[in-house]
Chains A and B, each alone.
Chain A
Amino acid sequence: MLEIDLQYDWEQFHAAYEVSISPGMTTLLGASGEGKSTLLHLLGGYLKGRGSVSYLGEDFSKSAPFERPISTLFQSDNLFPQLTVWQNVAIGLEPSMRLTDEQRGKVAWALEQTQLIAKQDQYPQALSGGQAQRVAIARALVRKKPILLLDEPFSALDPMLREEMLNLVNTVTQQFQLTTVLVSHLPAEALQVGGQVMLIAGGRVVAHEEASVLASDLLPETFSRYLGVVND
């Protein structure tokens, strides 16, 4: 269980997030500028906020980003352009990239899971957008952190590819019992990956439901307001 009670102030924007997230998929919905990314940056440790955040009862709000039980996939720039695909995954295990045989096996396994074995000696410039994000997922796999944060990492991909990537994330989440938080602005994505859905507005968590409510006739009012344009 990921327990969040965080506050953050920036000029006129005052955010206060209070929510518990259970293992499995959770999709974060909300309009632009309402504070979705802020929450993710607070969780990852890239913004300094107030309050507490804990996983399995252990508070990590004071820890540095690399000490947190979290892997984050950003919208872009998840790879070092000066390293090969294999190296980009290997640094997830050992920043010096000097791996034991067992660790090498792990890298090979992660590259296989993400269908990247053939590309392992190439540099990120030679990859497509989807492949690049798969490398980042492979790295998240070897790091074995229990929480996976995804900040609209597939928003630049074609619909087909995006669906494929979401399925991959979903599989990985189920297989390794991760707590995965996906930021999105497409309700359809929440429906596709299932699990929970959370609505963020004005720096607050205004709704937290099963993702299936988005498809049901009894849509809670908060959601219908957010989806207003769609329903009308």
Chain B
Amino acid sequence: MPIRFSTLRQGVRLFPALFGVLVFTLVGAASLAALLHHMDLTQWWGYLQDSYLWRIIRFSLWQALLSSVLSLLIAVPVASCLSHREFRGKHLLLQLFAVSMVVPTIVAILGIVVVYGRSGWLTSSFGISVPLYGLLGILLAHVFFNMPLAVRLLIQGYGLIPSAQWRLASQLGFSRGTSFRLIEWPYLKKVLPGAFVLIFMLCFSSFSVVLSLGGGPKSSSLEVAIYQALRFEFDLDKASFLSLLQVAICTLVAILIYKVAPKNQQDVSLLKAQCYFVKDSVVARCFDITAMLLALLLVLPPFLAIFDPIFSSQFLPTLLASATQKAMWVSLSIALPAAALSVLLGGCFGVLARTAMGRGWWGLLPSKIEHLGNIILMVPGLVFATGLFLWLRSLGFGFQSSYWVVVWVNAVMALPFVLRVLMPVLYQQEKRYRNLYSSLGIYGWSRLLIEWPLIRKSVAQAIGYALLLSLGDMGVIALFGSQGLVSLPLYLFQLVGSYRLEEGACVAVILISLCLILFYLATRIIGGKPDVRD
């Protein structure tokens, strides 16, 4: 019975990975059960008749719709211009867009308040004062984050256009308008629905932005309502009801995403793509310049505003203040274990998925495993954290468990991104070398040792992303953050809330620097020396 024996041995080798996935699933299920346990069905009818709830839902949908439409409306001409023109600073602009997608939410919010706020740049230099708190502020922030994301997604759509079509357009003398209508639009049409749904969902479940810029109960979102129910009303029943409602809506949208979203693709580099020259005109030029200026006007000022305080006299005192130091320490002590945990979980998922890959009936498993890891995209972190906290409380742990709840939820929230980075490499290694490995009898750790040089770059990237995400997170920590558990983003939120913008800006700079340093260290120490040939 040699075959039986070897499959058994292989099963034992998979045990650690299985254990990781099992813990992940159990904790998730227990949290959800704890939430369900706390609901009181008799109350639900009352909640559903609460006009405030419906107003929140209506407003959430409305602001999400406006945000995503605006982001796409600006992104389409910007993406078109970027793929047609070469100009000085293009590379810089693309990098600015990339950074604006990963900059911690609260930092960007601070930048927006400094620019558009009551005594902000706009008021002091032009005398224009805008009603920032409310719909306008929310839209400004959402477009700041999502317009660059939309540009990136659309550029992926442009990557699908065969260069032969541009060659033809060039030969036939198409104007920009004609090439847009005949060539670009048919391809954009394939990407736009997915991009819309993705951005819509991000804006619908937006927490920090609505909490800081919503300015009151008039413009609130479901997630903020959950936060308020927990934090200020201590109403677990209401919170669990709202949470389930949120999960239901997000699940609905997530299903839509899987139906229409474009397949994940590697980043397309615009700088390498071959694009033939299409007939230029004054109109096209004006159009492009307008679009680019609009995009720049929305994205650039908040950035400049963040970096302004480096020259302020407050910078050093703020840096050395004990509150800042403490917050820095809290941030590190959350982000580092969360990132490590996230990558560990990602590894478990990856090993399990790739072992099942292409083995008859088991071959159905990998995509299911990936979906399991992505489940947090449907269950907002706040909701998950609430459930986890309730479960731990029922086991007898009180508030002392908050730290571990925050770490675990941060790790789980980073998991989808970690999986996105790790899975392709792991699958590739498996596909190429499975037979070689099994013929040589190399399994388990010895296999990891052999693969390490090939996968370390991806592992480093995954850790880097996980670090960035947990460093910037303000959702979960806002719920549990109390005395002694105030991270940098939460501290920053408190400063912005009390309008101490100068100090806030200093903290923002510290937070960004911390992000950059940790990201660099992670990619350098774990990823090894940068490849000269890259």
For the A-B complex, the count of residue pairs with Cβ-Cβ distances under 8 Å equals 53
Given contacts A82-B182, A83-B182, A96-B178, contact A67 B162 (CB under 8 A): no
Contact assessment for A65 and B164 in the assembled complex, using a CB-CB cutoff below 8 Å: no
Which of A65, A72, A78 has most chain B Cβ within 10 Å? A65
B contact residues around A64 at 8 Å (CB):
170, 173, 277, 279
Asked if B133 lies at the interface with its beta carbon under 8 angstroms from chain A, I say no
B contact residues around A46 at 8 Å (CB):
167, 170, 276
Residue of A nearest to B171 (CB): A65
Asked if A153 lies at the interface with its beta carbon under 8 angstroms from chain B, I say no
Q: Report which of B165, B183, B186, B276 forms a contact with A65, defined as CB distance below 8 A.
A: B276
CA distance A91 to B175 in the complex (A): 12
Contact assessment for B171 and A72 in the assembled complex, using a CB-CB cutoff below 8 Å: yes
Chain B, interface residues (CB within 8 Å), range? 10 to 19
- Bits for A74-86, please: 1 = Cβ < 8 Å to B, else 0: 1011101011000
B contact residues around A71 at 8 Å (CB):
171
Contact assessment for A44 and B171 in the assembled complex, using a CB-CB cutoff below 8 Å: yes
Contact assessment for B173 and A67 in the assembled complex, using a CB-CB cutoff below 8 Å: yes
Asked if A10 lies at the interface with its beta carbon under 8 angstroms from chain B, I say no
Asked if A35 lies at the interface with its beta carbon under 8 angstroms from chain B, I say no
Q: Report which of A44, A66, A76, A91 forms a contact with B164, defined as CB distance below 8 A.
A: A76
B contact residues around A82 at 8 Å (CB):
182, 186
Asked if B532 lies at the interface with its beta carbon under 8 angstroms from chain A, I say no
Contact assessment for A65 and B277 in the assembled complex, using a CB-CB cutoff below 8 Å: yes
A contact residues around B186 at 8 Å (CB):
82
Contact assessment for A66 and B276 in the assembled complex, using a CB-CB cutoff below 8 Å: no
B contact residues around A95 at 8 Å (CB):
172-175, 178, 182
Chain A, interface residues (CB within 8 Å), range? 20 to 34
Contact assessment for A80 and B277 in the assembled complex, using a CB-CB cutoff below 8 Å: no
Contact assessment for B172 and A66 in the assembled complex, using a CB-CB cutoff below 8 Å: yes
CB contact list, B45-74 vs A, under 8 A: none
Which of B172, B182, B279 has most chain A Cβ within 10 Å? B172
Contact assessment for B170 and A77 in the assembled complex, using a CB-CB cutoff below 8 Å: no
Q: Is the interface of A mostly helix, strand, loop or mixed?
A: loop
A contact residues around B165 at 8 Å (CB):
77, 80
Asked if A24 lies at the interface with its beta carbon under 8 angstroms from chain B, I say no
B contact residues around A65 at 8 Å (CB):
167, 170-171, 276-277
A contact residues around B170 at 8 Å (CB):
45-46, 64-66
CB contact list, A117-131 vs B, under 8 A: none
CA distance A96 to B183 in the complex (A): 12
Asked if A92 lies at the interface with its beta carbon under 8 angstroms from chain B, I say yes
B contact residues around A77 at 8 Å (CB):
162, 164-165, 167-168
CA distance A77 to B171 in the complex (A): 13
Contact assessment for A66 and B182 in the assembled complex, using a CB-CB cutoff below 8 Å: no
CB contact list, B149-186 vs A, under 8 A: 162, 164-165, 167-168, 170-175, 178, 182-183, 186
A contact residues around B162 at 8 Å (CB):
77
B contact residues around A66 at 8 Å (CB):
170-174, 279
Residue of A nearest to B185 (CB): A82
Residue of B nearest to A75 (CB): B164
A contact residues around B164 at 8 Å (CB):
74, 76-78
CB contact list, A95-116 vs B, under 8 A: 95-96
- Bits for A40-79, please: 1 = Cβ < 8 Å to B, else 0: 0000111000000000000000001111001110101110
Q: B524 to nearest A CB, angstroms?
A: 33
A contact residues around B178 at 8 Å (CB):
95-96
Residue of B nearest to A87 (CB): B182
A contact residues around B277 at 8 Å (CB):
64-65
CB contact list, B278-308 vs A, under 8 A: 279
CB contact list, B166-214 vs A, under 8 A: 167-168, 170-175, 178, 182-183, 186
Contact assessment for B172 and A91 in the assembled complex, using a CB-CB cutoff below 8 Å: yes
A contact residues around B175 at 8 Å (CB):
95
Residue of B nearest to A95 (CB): B178
Q: B350 to nearest A CB, angstroms?
A: 38
CA distance A70 to B170 in the complex (A): 12
Residue of B nearest to A41 (CB): B167
B contact residues around A78 at 8 Å (CB):
164, 168
Contact assessment for A80 and B167 in the assembled complex, using a CB-CB cutoff below 8 Å: no
CA distance A91 to B162 in the complex (A): 18
CA distance A92 to B173 in the complex (A): 9
CA distance A46 to B276 in the complex (A): 7
Which of B171, B175, B183, B277 has most chain A Cβ within 10 Å? B171
Q: Would you list the 6 A-B pairs with minimal beta carbon distance, nearest first? A: A66-B173, A77-B164, A95-B178, A65-B170, A82-B186, A95-B174
Partner-A contacts on B (CB < 8 A): 162, 164-165, 167-168, 170-175, 178, 182-183, 186, 276-277, 279
19 pairs from A and B in contact (CB 8 Å cutoff): A46-B170, A64-B170, A64-B277, A65-B170, A66-B171, A66-B172, A66-B174, A66-B279, A67-B173, A74-B164, A76-B164, A78-B168, A80-B165, A82-B186, A91-B172, A91-B182, A95-B173, A95-B174, A143-B172
Known contacts A77-B167, A92-B172, then 6 further A-B pairs from the complex at CB < 8 Å, ordered by chain A residue: A46-B167, A64-B170, A64-B173, A65-B277, A66-B173, A95-B175
